[in-house]
Amino acid sequence: SSFYERYHSLEDIYYWINRTAHDFPNTVKVILIGSSYEKRPLYVLKLSMNDNPNKKAMWLDCGIHAREWVSPAFCLWFVHYSLSFHQQNVDITNILDNMDVYILPVMNPDGYKYTWTTNRMWRKNRSISKSSGCFGADLNRNFDANWCTEGASSNPCSEIYCGAFPESEPESQAVANFLRSHKDSIQLYLTIHSYSQMLLFPYSYTLEESDNHNDLLEMAQEAAQKIRRYYRNIYRYGAGAKTIYLAPGGSDDWAYNLGIKYSFTFELQDRGRYGFLLPPSQISSACNEALLATKVIALKVLEKT
Ligand code: 0X9
Ligand code: ZN
């Protein structure tokens, strides 16, 4: 199997980031956007195919939740595909020629490391709550979007602990700061999770529909249809709160309210047979599906903006 059909340790991913930037000096830049609770760097790769940079951009993050290993695998897959098939595949060429892409391969490096060394099923980051002695806040409950209401927990020992206050965690704060300072160029926010095979969009913190609900629905539907047609796999789609559950403080809803009107959470394979323990032999099909959905949605954003 190739490098991209395996899971990689955090150290390998840092090495890969460095090597990728080194191998493609004209198109890949590494941006340090902050550091984790345990002081690991949070690196974003910027793919920019033109000499004069695009005004439009999209953001892609992976690995908010530590145990969802196929998520960082997708970020690596996407970067590799983009660098290999620009000028070969019309869709990725069109996307990269018209928007810059920011990729954060591992938003939660401390948690990811912990799943490799100590507890494969860890979800949260690794900040300690002194009062309880429990570790970790759920970074996807820590954003300032109806923070810590129904669907999150204020108990530091819970798997869905919202943190002490919005953006209390250095990982979510780094992402929020970067998006705030680039919100005029970024039109599409994409965040990758697993598992359950869903294409979700705002809102997740309320049952109310977003302003451009029908646009988002149409985009997710086309992506799901293409996955069904080309890969014979079923993805559900819809607003988060109505499709899975109410869950406030998520990055997708926060990015949407910031003004990034195309905002999606992908839940990749599978539907529960292996769950978070998706075998490496399924990485390629999981990533190809997610890549197809990413292309469909990014191309639609280019049409609409
Ligand atoms: O609950 C979550 O954070 C996500 N599901 S997961 O199983 N990967 O944990 C869904 C996130 C959907 N979006 C928001 N809740 N904002
Ligand atoms: Zn997740």
Using one digit for the tens of pLDDT, what is the confidence trace for 146-205?
A: 999 999 999 999 999 999 999 999 999 999 999 999 999 999 999 999 999 999 999 999
Q: CB under 6 Å to ligand 1: residues? A: 65, 68, 140, 193, 200, 204, 240, 247, 250, 252-253, 265, 267
140 C-alpha to center of ligand 1: Å?
A: 7
| For ligand 1, atom 3: residue with the closest CA | 140
Query: Does 88 have pLDDT greater than 80?
Result: yes
Q: What CATH number did the domain enclosing 88 receive?
A: 3.40.630.10
**What's the confidence (pLDDT) of residue 55?**
82
User: Complex ipTM, two decimals?
Assistant: 0.99
Atom 12 of ligand 1, residue of closest alpha carbon = 240
Whole-number Å distance, alpha carbon 125 to ligand 2 midpoint, is: 12
Q: What is the pLDDT of residue 175?
A: 99
What is the Cα 8 distance to its own chain's centre?
17
- CB contact at 8 A, 106 and 10: yes
Alpha helices in 55-190 (DSSP H): 70-85, 90-98, 109-117, 170-181
> Domains in the chain: how many in total?
1
Domain hosting 241: range is 3-304
- Partner residues linked to 50 by β-bridges: none
Q: Phi then psi for 68, rounded to 5 degrees?
A: -85, 70
Say which of 222, 267, 289, 303 is annotated catalytic: 267
The answer to whether residue 252 scores a pLDDT higher than 90 is yes
- In this predicted structure, the answer to whether residue 255 has a pLDDT above a threshold of 70 is yes
Give the pLDDT confidence of 18-71 residue by residue, as tens digits. Answer: 999 999 999 999 999 999 999 999 999 999 997 666 789 999 999 999 999 999
For residue range 198-249, list pLDDT tens digits in order: 999 999 999 999 999 999 999 999 999 999 999 999 999 999 999 999 999 9
Give distance in angstroms: CA of 65 to centre of ligand 2: 5
What predicted TM-score, i.e. pTM, was given to this entire model?
Answer: 0.98
Percent of the chain with pLDDT over 70: 99
Give yes or no: 68 in active site: no
Q: Is the peptide bond before 110 cis (omega within 30 degrees of 0)?
A: no
**What is the Cα–Cα distance from 182 to 176, expressed in whole angstroms?**
10
